Amino acid sequence: MCIHPTHSLPATQPQTAGVCPAQALTGSQRQELALQALAGTQTITCLAQNYEVSRKFVYQQSGKAQQALDQAFLPSPSADDQVLFYLPVTKAWLKQLILGLILICHSSLRGVVELLRDLLDYPLSVGQVHNVVQATVAPARDYNARQELSNVRVGAHDEIFQSARPVLVGADVFSTYCYLLSQEEHRDAVTWGVRLLELCDRGFAPDATIADFGSGLRAGQELALPGLPCRGDVFHALQTLEALVVSVENRAYQAIAARSKLEHQQAQSQKRRGRSAPSLSQKLRHARPAEAKAIALAEDVAVLVRWLREDIFTVAGPAYADRCALYDFVVAELQARRSHGPQCLTEACGLVHDHRDDLLAFARQLENDFTGLAAEFQVPVAAVRALLNVRALDLRDPRRWQQDAALHRQLRGRYYPLSAAVDDVARHTVRASSVIENLNSRLRSYFFLRRHLGPDYLALLQFFLNHRRFLRSEHPERIGKSPAELLSGQSHPHWLQMLGFTLFSRN
């Protein structure tokens, strides 16, 4: 027997021919049916008869209502389980993800395949990932070729190796724009000359370049750009000299340890036998002078290298002629100690002896700039140099403020504009190819993923490095800008947009 509720059942809607009663029920009627089934006031059979539907349909509606109730009364999700935003995953977005993983995250092709498989449950083959990357090479190479290079004032050049093959690298010192990234069979003068001539077709005409002392690099520049100064890289010279200091210091420590060991053995012999061992005494007669010579050599070399680093190779320092005289003195002193030092001392002497003019080329340019400022502001060159030296002193050094006050009284109204001009000259004085060394370190983090590079991969990598904006930098003017924007002075879209993609935005 069916127990009917006190309220009347919903009026049966007029049935359309060919339409079953279940399909004719409205949403509110289905909800009422589900609630009655959950309440248990009537049996499922009675509800099915009253609504002219099957018992299976009643069970389906009650199941939906039960799921909704269960979901409504679940405990609140933790912060980690809350949905932050929804992302429409399309093929175009997956292509951007692949490029970002490879270029931003330094991922390998197989690493991309594994991430898509494990986190997105989206299987791709290595070949498909390769094709996505390959499709962006043509527009990237086009952007590289269209970049005008007339704004490059000082270029830094170097060579790095991948699988025993040289990669020629060139970058603008001030914007860090990489204008040359080419893997070659050789690194001789002809190869460098051809690549530099290709750059000249795009407006490459710097005031100077800076590089190490590779013969092919310098000979190639002389072929393509005759007369263009190629300054010596102070960084590599100081690196060689610092290694020399460590070497002679280690020799001194070894000599001290050898003498100490012999003295300890002699003391043990005297304690056991009551007399010194003749053989040990003979060794000590040679060990003590050898120790003194090793210590003296280490101290002398350390002082000479410190003079080079802190007095001769610094921007703030003596005049160019005085630097040359000091440099010659240091080289002569180092050469005088070659017979008492290791082989690396002879190599370091050869390096600094043969490349004085190259290593001090920045000081010669600095002297020319000071001469121009002195003529412009009608002051002595010595006053311009003194102003640079004063501004290089530490703010806590009392000598700075004493000398600064004297220069202020001497220069009067020309003090502040001349100070700004001197700071600008110092900021644009290039002594070392730090930019190219930094670029090389970034390139190696990509090269180790691949045994063979190829021109396509290098073209895409060059485009990415030139158009990716700096997130941070020691130079405030670089933050938020890409090397291409710094070189040209013109903004450009995001590098993914330049390759034809549309960036995702949560707004």
Spatial neighbors of 440 by CB under 8 A, at least 6 apart, are 158, 160, 169
Q: Are residues 198 and 227 in the same domain?
A: yes
pLDDT at res. 5:
43
Return the axis-axis angle of helices 278-307 and 234-273, rounded to nearest 10°. Answer: 160
CA atoms within 13 A on the CB side of 337: 24
Q: Are residues 158 and 265 in the same domain?
A: no
pLDDT at res. 12:
46
What SS3 class is residue 414? helix
Asked if residue 501 belongs to a domain, the reply is no
Q: Assign residue 52 a region: left if phi > 0, alpha if psi is -120 to 50, beta otherwise?
A: left
What SS3 string covers 174-239? CCCCEEEEEECCCCCHHHHHHHHHHHHCCCCCCCEEEECCCHHHHHHHHHHCCCCCEEECHHHHHH
Q: Are residues 177 and 214 in the same domain?
A: yes
Strand order in the sheet with 154-162: 178-183, 165-172, 154-162, 208-211, 230-232
Q: Are residues 277 and 380 in the same domain?
A: no
Tell me the pLDDT tens digit for each residue of 311-329.
999 998 899 999 999 999 9
Asked if residue 321 belongs to a domain, the reply is yes
Q: Give yes or no for a contact between 169 and 443, defined as CB atoms under 8 angstroms apart.
A: yes
Q: Are residues 50 and 98 in the same domain?
A: no
R_g of the chain computed on alpha carbons: 39
Q: Which amino acid is at 400?
A: R
Identify the DSSP state of 107. Answer: -
Last residue in a domain, options 373, 402, 427: 427
Asked if residue 7 belongs to a domain, the reply is no
What's this model's pTM, rounded to 2 decimal places? Answer: 0.75
Q: Are residues 183 and 281 in the same domain?
A: no
Q: Are residues 443 and 458 in the same domain?
A: yes
Q: Are residues 278 and 325 in the same domain?
A: yes
Q: Are residues 28 and 61 in the same domain?
A: yes
What SS3 string covers 11-24? CCCCCCCCCCHHHH
Asked if residue 278 belongs to a domain, the reply is yes
Domain span holding position 422: 362-427
Per-residue CA distances from 6 to 9, 41, 211, 484 (Å): 9, 11, 98, 81
Asked if residue 453 belongs to a domain, the reply is yes
Q: Are residues 228 and 239 in the same domain?
A: no
Spatial neighbors of 325 by CB under 8 A, at least 6 apart, are none
Tell me the pLDDT tens digit for each residue of 370-423.
999 999 999 999 999 999 999 888 888 888 889 889 988 998 889 999 999 999
Q: Are residues 250 and 350 in the same domain?
A: yes
Q: How many domains does one find in the chain? A: 5
Structure tokens at 507: 């707004």
Asked if residue 180 belongs to a domain, the reply is yes
Q: Can you give the pLDDT of all 507 residues of the chain as single tens digits?
A: 444 443 444 444 455 555 688 888 888 888 888 888 888 888 889 988 888 899 999 899 989 888 888 887 877 666 667 777 888 889 999 999 999 999 999 999 999 999 999 999 999 999 999 999 999 999 999 999 999 999 999 999 999 988 888 999 999 999 999 999 999 999 999 999 999 999 999 999 999 999 988 889 999 999 999 999 999 889 888 989 999 999 999 999 999 999 999 989 888 888 888 788 888 888 888 999 999 999 999 999 999 999 999 999 999 889 999 999 999 999 999 999 888 788 889 989 998 998 999 999 999 999 999 999 999 999 999 999 999 999 888 888 888 889 889 988 998 889 999 999 999 998 888 888 788 888 888 999 888 887 778 899 999 999 999 999 998 888 888 999 999 999 999 999 999 999 999 998 876
Last residue in a domain, options 359, 394, 411: 359
In this structure, is the dihedral angle defined by the CA atoms of residues 207, 213, 214 and 218, taken in order, positive or negative?
A: positive
pLDDT at res. 428:
86
Asked if residue 9 belongs to a domain, the reply is no
Give the domain CATH number at 188: 3.30.420.10
